Structure 1
Amino acid sequence: MFRQFLRALGPVRNRLSRTVAGNGAGVPGSNFERNCVSKEEQLTEALKKSLPGTTYISVEDISGGCGAMFEVSIEAKEFIGLPRVKQHRLVTDSLKQEISEMHGIRIHTNPTPTDK
């Protein structure tokens, strides 16, 4: 009975040993991590393209590495004179396709400071 139990755990044990050896999630260079980084870059490029007056942008995966939730901080000239709700709407309209694949998103916006 115990031997059957150990035999049944064989695939799980092999999967765990591959994770520890460096082929699992969260290990630098894994497919999982490369996918998350490329998603952050994809979001950054989409925002830069739709808001060319961007002076600062930060996109961070806050889902623990699975790419389901992101935090976006952005400063752009397009936000000058707009209420925060309209600023956020510009961001969500820019990322409409990407947001449909996410679990959630946090948005922080600021207008670019004008020189006095």
Structure 2
Amino acid sequence: MFRNFVKVFEPVKNHLVRAVAGNGASTEVAGSVYEKNCVSKEQQLTDALKKAMPGITYISVQDISGGCGAMFEISVEAKEFVGLNRVKQHRLVTDSLKNEIAEMHGIRIHTTPAATQ
């Protein structure tokens, strides 16, 4: 009886193995989800900041929570900060990361205006 039960789920098992291994018809969907999950949280935060502030000249994002992704330290140097006080600079960063910050326990932000030439 157990063998019959296992035989019933064999096609499902094969489909899942193909999807994970990347050998089936569903590789596009599984591949994109897999690739999205492989991107580190640091890289996601960096990409979000670069998208929101194209004038960034330096950026550093570090997970300071021991690897669980609950707390990050972000250092940013950007042209967008020129002429703004520190509170407004930090507000630009937090507004850019509003969705990501909702999932965090804490964040440390260090901002510097980029030197204009």
Shared fold (TM-score, shorter chain, > 0.5): yes
* Residue 71 of structure 2 is aligned to residue 94 of structure 1: no
| Number of the residue aligned with 2:107 | 105
- Aligned partner of 1:61 among 57, 60, 63: 63
SS at match of 1:107: strand
Gaps of 5+ in 1: 1-34
How many residues align structurally? Answer: 81
Q: What is the rounded CA distance, in whole Å, between the counterparts of 1:44 and 1:114 in structure 2?
A: 22
- Aligned partner of 1:71 among 70, 73, 80: 73
| Number of the residue aligned with 1:41 | 43
TM-score by length of 1: 0.67
Identical positions, percent: 80
Deviation at 1:113, TM superposition (A): 1.0
Q: What is the rounded CA distance, in whole Å, between the counterparts of 2:71 and 2:91 in structure 1?
A: 18
Residues 68/41 of structure 1: CA separation in 2 closer, same or farther (3 Å cut): same
Gaps of 5+ in 2: 1-36
Deviation at 1:36, TM superposition (A): 8.9
| Number of the residue aligned with 1:15 | none
Q: What is the rounded CA distance, in whole Å, between the counterparts of 2:42 and 2:68 in structure 1?
A: 12
Q: CA RMSD in A?
A: 1.4
Which protein shows a greater Rg?
A: 2
Maintained 8 Å contact 1:48/1:54: yes
